[in-house]
Amino acid sequence: MGSALTTIGLPVALGIIMFGLGLSLTLGDFARVLKQPKAVIVALACQLLLLPAICFGLVMLFQLPPILAVGMMMLAASPGGTTANLYSHLFRGDIALNISLTAVNSVIAVVTLPIITNIAIWYFDPFDDQLGMQWSKAIEVFAIVLLPVALGMLVRRFWRGFADRMDKPVRIISVIVLVVVIAGAVASNWALLVENFARLSLITIVFCLISLTIGYLVPRWLRVGRRQAIASSFEIGIHNATLAIVIAQTVLGSVELSLPAAVYGVLMFFIAFGFGFLIRGRASDEDEEEAAAERASA
């Protein structure tokens, strides 16, 4: 765990990813929230209230050991990431809403992630000599999440042409660095990962499926637009596993704590892809029904 690859490489990789996110954001992305408040409020309520409660229920149902239970709760508290924007684009979601949700969620997570993590540590008590994420560690979360985003936004604000040119290279670099670092981390902790993969694969699959489903059906039930519901689904269903891994390994100093996010980070790409095809087919049926209703009323 103490290798430079994880203690230095992971935060650097996440910093590049968050900097890249900042390059694509403007203050208008935060202001856009006011233009479609219902979709944003519903999505945030699902993310901040429903998912931690559901994750807690799954942890109890699957009877995870305390350290893995806290890791799952930390994953549930992690915001969506840039991957959600990509999936939303592929399956015709509202990209602008995704960007706004990612921006707002990243800011809120600076507060909610330490709170949920501390509650989980207090309840499951996985550490004998650690009370939880102390104030100094919460400041580390702030630095890890928001400072690179703010820097990226400043670059875009004052050097927009440079930000536009750097957007794609930064994305490519972040993926390459992240793959190298995670591959190295997995290799160095291979036995531990294999030992827990079977135990964690089912609960992470179920959690991902429930997250995606809630993110789509709850907004539709509350009469949020279809494209907004698709965006909400991926924003809620695709958590920033890298952030959870970094906080677990570098802030709290535990490889075991990062295992749920590591397993989830591998499996969620395939689950979200399949789910995207499912709701795209459902969306096509809904579009045909709406069009038929309009013709009937004409």
Collapsed DSSP state (helix, strand, coil) of residue 68? helix
Beta bridge partners of 80: 239
- C-alpha distances (whole Å) from 126 to each of 69, 96, 167, 270 are 9, 40, 40, 31
Mean pLDDT of 194-199: 78
Helix (H, G, I), strand (E, B) or coil at 239: strand
Q: Would residue 79 be called left, alpha or beta, if left means φ above 0 and alpha means ψ between -120 and 50 degrees? A: beta
Q: What DSSP character marks residue 223?
A: T
CA angle 10, 15, 21 (to 5 degrees): 130
Q: What is the pTM of this model?
A: 0.78
- Domain architecture of the chain: domains with CATH: 4-289 (1.20.1530.20)
Which range is most confident: 10-14, 86-90, 171-175? 86-90
The pair of three-digit structure tokens given for residue 135, joined into one six-digit string: 């104030």
Confidence band (pLDDT; 50, 70, 90) for 292? very low
- Report DSSP state, residue 78: S
d(CA 42, CA 179): 33
Tokens found for residue 289 = 């029904």
pLDDT at residue 216 greater than cutoff 70? yes
Average pLDDT of the residues of the chain: 79
45-59, 101-115, 246-260: which is most confident: 45-59
Instruction: Select the highest-mean-pLDDT range: 8-17, 183-192, 250-259, 269-278.
Output: 269-278
Question: Is 282's pLDDT higher than 80?
Answer: no
Q: How many CB atoms lie within 10 A of CB 277?
A: 11
The vertex-78 CA angle with 258 and 168, nearest 5°, equals 95
Say if CB 28 and CB 178 are below 8 A apart. no
The stretch 142-167 carries a mean pLDDT of: 79
If you average pLDDT over residues 121-134, what whole number do you get?
69
* Percentage above 90 pLDDT, the chain: 20
pLDDT above 70 covers a percentage of the chain that reads: 75
Extended beta strands in 133-253, E state: none
* pLDDT at position 223 over 80: yes
Q: 152 CB contacts (<8 Å, ≥6 apart)?
A: 18, 19, 20, 21, 22, 23, 24, 25, 163
Q: Which among 193, 181, 74 is positioned nearest to 124, based on CA atoms?
A: 74
Identify the CA nearest to 217 among candidates 237, 197, 246. 237
